[in-house]
Amino acid sequence: MRRLTSTLALVAAATAFSASAGAQTLPVNDPILRQMWAEGMERSQTWPLMQVLTDSIGPRLTGSPGIKSANDWLVAMYTRWGIPARNETYGTWMNWRRGTTHIDLMAPRVRSLEGTMLAWSPGTPRGQPVTAETILIPDLADSAAFRAWLPAVRGKIVLVSGALASCRPLSNIQEFATPATLERMRTQRTEDQQAWGRRIQKSGLNNTTLPRALEEAGAVAVVTSQWSNGWGVNKIFQGRTTRVPTVELSCEDYGLVYRLTDRNQGARLRIAADAEFVGEQPVFNTLAEIRGSEKPNEYVMLSAHLDSWDGSSGATDNATGTITMLEAMRILKLHYPNPKRTILVGHWNGEEQGLNGSRAFAADNPRVVAGLHALFNQDNGTGRVVNVSASGFPRASAHLADYFSRLPSELTSGITLGFPGSPTGGGTDHASFVCHGAPGFGLGSLGWEYGTYTWHTNRDTFDKVVFDEVMRNATLTAMLVYLASEDPVTMPRDRRVMPTSPQGNQLQWPNCGEPARATR
């Protein structure tokens, strides 16, 4: 409770912030839309809410203390605004606490390295440092030769990724290099990556089984590097070891250690990694609702996943979606407190492990799925909404077109509507409803180099949030939910005739996957 109280206090202290868009004339006649515009664009609370979620609570790995703190904070915020909210369990997950990680080059010279432990990795014994020589996976003839070599890893730290000759992004090389240099560097990068892939393939193992084989053979740590093709940015996912730590090094520092090891120059690393496993613990979705006054058993939903990877703060994946929906609910409560349909927001857990939270909710709440008029989901970064698909519901297209036609051009300019669109089979949480034939729609955002710099990386931090864009998205979402709740006709669920693939195969409407309700 101490942490929850302090984060609430931070929001209260920050309410003086006003993300004013300036005095603007809104060319719409609907007084509720005008009020929502003023609230969302001139009295936005996105900045203080985002600051608490990303800076104070931080990353929200499924099963970690951070995700539970975020669940509780959301319930507290909604309760404070007079919106009934709850944490609803859907299963259990391994409870894992990340502590500090320190990785240092000790020989042939001393240097502190940029890196971190991967999610769900064991720490070093009692969090104390382990110092050892590094070793590379050699280029061997086949799996039998690999098995014969494997005892060589005992007592050593094993490098399991290939190294790049240059960690410059390709765009930088293209800008400055001569055509000959560009071609040489591009070719070398491709050949180096392919050669390392063949080396691992010849071991008879893969990225999942290799680390476990190394720890079984006595390795004291595993080191990886998954560069994201941008300056200083790496993908941070999960470790595959169960007894020794797996750490990720930046492209630049991994290359340093790789070259020293490859050239037999006496590379030694010291790794201190603190982690704690507490066993399977309940995991939750956070739900909040404003009850409908005329059609309480029909639902308009707002949707975003709350969980994140934990190599950084989870700012654009998906604190931006979370805050978009939280702020939209605040606007709706103030200016549309008595909706015709029930307004329900889902802050999903376990999205990064396979849409588990939203899939479980849809499976456990057939009444909501049956009564779903429309769901609006956002999950691809900080950018303003620029595309919306009708998800393969042809007659829903007219409803969406009507909603967008009533919105101010300040919000809709630049948005492409895709009719009838196609159903998504996965990737983000509205797929958990579309597979049931329920109208769920993704609010697709402008890129802001999301895939390279912030999606699942060590750079997904508060400073990457573009608040002008998030304010627009929250205001847009609140308005769409209002118009959907007022819609006199329930959204039709007719499904499009699915097209054929380029190979001539008839595509099918996606099936609903089974949610994982416990750690696999």
Count each helix (H run) and each strand (E run) in the chain, helices first.
Answer: 16, 16
* Confidence at 27, pLDDT banded by 50, 70, 90: low
pLDDT at 386 > cutoff 90: yes
Pairing of β 227-230 and β 221-224 = unpaired
Range with the poorest average pLDDT among 18-22, 31-35, 53-57, 198-202 = 18-22
In order of start, what are the domains of the chain with their CATH numbers?
2-84+291-486 (3.40.630.10), 96-278 (3.50.30.30)
Residue 330: predicted pLDDT: 98
Helix (H, G, I), strand (E, B) or coil at 305: strand
pTM: predicted TM-score of the whole model, two decimal places: 0.93
Work out the mean pLDDT of the chain and round it to a whole number: 94
Instruction: Please provide the DSSP assignment of 416-484 as one string.
Output: EEESS-----SSSTTHHHHTTT--EEEEEE--TTIIIIITTBTT--GGG--HHHHHHHHHHHHHHHHHH
Residue 520's pLDDT is what? 85
More confident residue, 20 or 44: 44
pLDDT-based confidence at residue 169 (cuts at 50, 70, 90): very high
Q: How far apart are the first and last CA of the chain?
A: 31
Dihedrals phi, psi of 176, to nearest 5 degrees? -115, -25
